[in-house]
Amino acid sequence: MIEEGSKSSKSMVEKRQLFMEMRAQNFDVIRLSTYRTACKLRFVQKRCNLHLVDVWNMIEAFRDNGLSTLDHNAEINVSRLETILSSIFYQLNKRLPTTHQINVEQSIGLLLNFIVATYDSEGHGKLTVFAMKAMLATMCGGKILDKLRYIFSQISDSNGVMVFAKFDQFLREVLKLPTAVFEGPSFGYTEHSVRTCFPQQKKILLNTFLDVLMADPPPQCLVWLPLMHRLANVENVFHPVECSYCRSESMMGFRYRCQQCHGYQLCQSCFWRGHASGPHSNQHQMKEHSSWKSPAKKLSHAISKSLGCMPIGEPPHPVFPEAAERPQDLAHTTTLESPSRLDEEHRLIARYAARLAAEASNSTQCPPTDLSFNFDANKQQRQLIAELENKNREILQEIQRLRLEHEQASQPTPEKAQQNPTLLAELRLLRHRKDELERRMSALQESRRELMVQLEGLMRLLKDEEQKQAAQTGSSPHSSPSHSASCTMPMPIRSTSAGSTPTHTPQDCLAGVGDDVLDAFSQGVPRNLRNDLLVAADSITNTMSSLVKELHSVDDGLDDEEENMRNGREKVSSLKHSGKRHSTPSF
């Protein structure tokens, strides 16, 4: 009795282990339910090692365990579910290098308890095939596009049209996941969930299905699903920016920039918790960033966009043919066969051969020699299959060995970095040169802005002077074609081609101009300085363009230098020589 009680208490502890670990992460401090739900499900996915199982491997496991031939409403017991999970994780360990093996028994136990708690809360000991497929296909790794294509193949008819009743069943099962992590009030299933996804009753094909579920924003009941995939993509993204609240000098994951407060940025931890400081408020609109671009790349991107050189953006997903997609069971793939599966195939072949023999004995048209020929052919085919399977095993083992050697050879070591002090010194010089070029770019932009302001003021003074002369001579300014043409030259178009147009009135129109301009206006006789000023504007513009090219080349070279640290000596030398060849523009 004491042993039975200890076993039952141990079982209860194992069932609660995953939820206790999830509560210890303190996800409930996240104020937005969408991020809170996605973080919790991402934690479950990683803790059960489901993020290592691709959706195609999951579909293959369904096929190997005979689930592709069962009806969606068929029920399986917990023991068979455990067998399926065992095959999934043992096959995963065969694909992983020996240095990255997982604890299979622990993963099976955690995932089994989570599935039972999610889909068998009443303790019947059974769950449907469709519920298990929907849960594992949603929580495994892989691209969201591949997942949605597989889900559509399970809820569509033979004509490739979505069945609303099956989609409703899918929502009923998949929305049990947020409920399992205590987010049911926000994303639990309701009778109107289907209508929120497809408001109008119409014919839904694959492309329409993907358009709706991959839209921005997606349907409200499934908004956590694409966010969970974005979380997986930005976990290792680094942003060299200081958080405006916690003052952390770098960010990992998402970065949020306020659309109203200039230069106000928050890390994902501060934004999720609703922190704000200074004039910033939680009611301000924030833009989510999942990558980082250097100032040089931002400038080149802005210039390319202004010149219309930006490539056309790709669609959110490729357009698939409207014909019906076959269920993706991966029947054509090659896998490592277990001994039990080989024995089962041999039994099937034997039964098929016996049936052929019985049909041949009952038929008077087939002579006995044909029967012996069929047996010999089946035997040869079995021998050929066995040989091919052995070769396949050898090839997979060789691939695994080569992959392990490649990973060991590609792992960076601190000794390699310390052996190249000259390389690090040259890299620091390049960084210093890049910072100097960025400072020169800022100074050049400020000088160009002042020049545009002076051009505007000088043009206005020229107009006023011509009007005064016309008034003194008693003639209209329009009576002189040469004066009219010189005064109405489209200066804003000229400044736009240079990069920007002055948007404010200068306080002192002649501040900072040359002596020639001052002498010309002090004598009261206007000199034709328009050409000289335009030549100066063109010179500033050309200098800015050459500096942009040089800054961009140095930035690209620096990125390449960081990615190829092992053979960086040659690249640093080439960048260094190229930096010497380009002359720094003077202002």
Q: How many CB atoms lie within 10 A of CB 146?
A: 15
Q: How many CB atoms lie within 10 A of CB 447?
A: 15
Query: Kind and range of the H or E element at 570?
Result: helix 568-581
pLDDT for the residue numbered 489: 39
Residue with tokens 């003074």: 461
Find, among 519, 505, 517, the residue nearest to 452 by Cα. Answer: 505
pLDDT for the residue numbered 566: 52
CA 238/CA 284 separation, integer angstroms:
24
pLDDT for the residue numbered 438: 82
As beta bridge partners, residue 126 has 77
Return left, alpha or beta for 274; rule: phi > 0 is left, psi -120 to 50 is alpha, else beta: left
Query: Kind and range of the H or E element at 431?
Result: helix 421-473
Find, among 579, 232, 213, the residue nearest to 427 by Cα. Answer: 579
Which residues, 6+ apart, have CB-to-CB distance to 395 below 8 Å? Answer: none
CA 412/CA 434 separation, integer angstroms:
26
Angle, vertex CA 510, rays to CA 505 and CA 516, nearest 5: 145
> Residue type for 413, please?
T
DSSP letter (8 states) at residue 90: H
Residue 531 contacts residue 435 (beta carbons within 8 Å): no
pLDDT for the residue numbered 169: 95
Residue 266 contacts residue 245 (beta carbons within 8 Å): yes
539 — phi, psi (to 5°)? -65, -45
Find, among 234, 182, 222, the residue nearest to 40 by Cα. Answer: 182
pLDDT for the residue numbered 5: 47
Residue 96 contacts residue 52 (beta carbons within 8 Å): yes
Residue 519 contacts residue 430 (beta carbons within 8 Å): no
Helices (H) and strands (E) in the chain, counts: 24, 7
As beta bridge partners, residue 289 has 255
The three-state secondary structure class of 5 is helix
585 — phi, psi (to 5°)? -70, 145
Find, among 140, 85, 127, the residue nearest to 107 by Cα. Answer: 85
CA 411/CA 404 separation, integer angstroms:
11
CA 398/CA 323 separation, integer angstroms:
40
Mean pLDDT in each 10-residue stretch from start to end of the chain (587 residues)? 48 75 92 94 96 94 91 93 95 93 94 94 90 96 94 93 94 95 91 86 89 91 94 89 89 90 90 89 88 63 54 62 56 48 62 67 49 60 80 84 79 56 78 82 80 81 82 55 39 38 40 47 49 66 70 60 53 48 42
Q: How many CB atoms lie within 10 A of CB 293?
A: 11
pLDDT for the residue numbered 532: 62
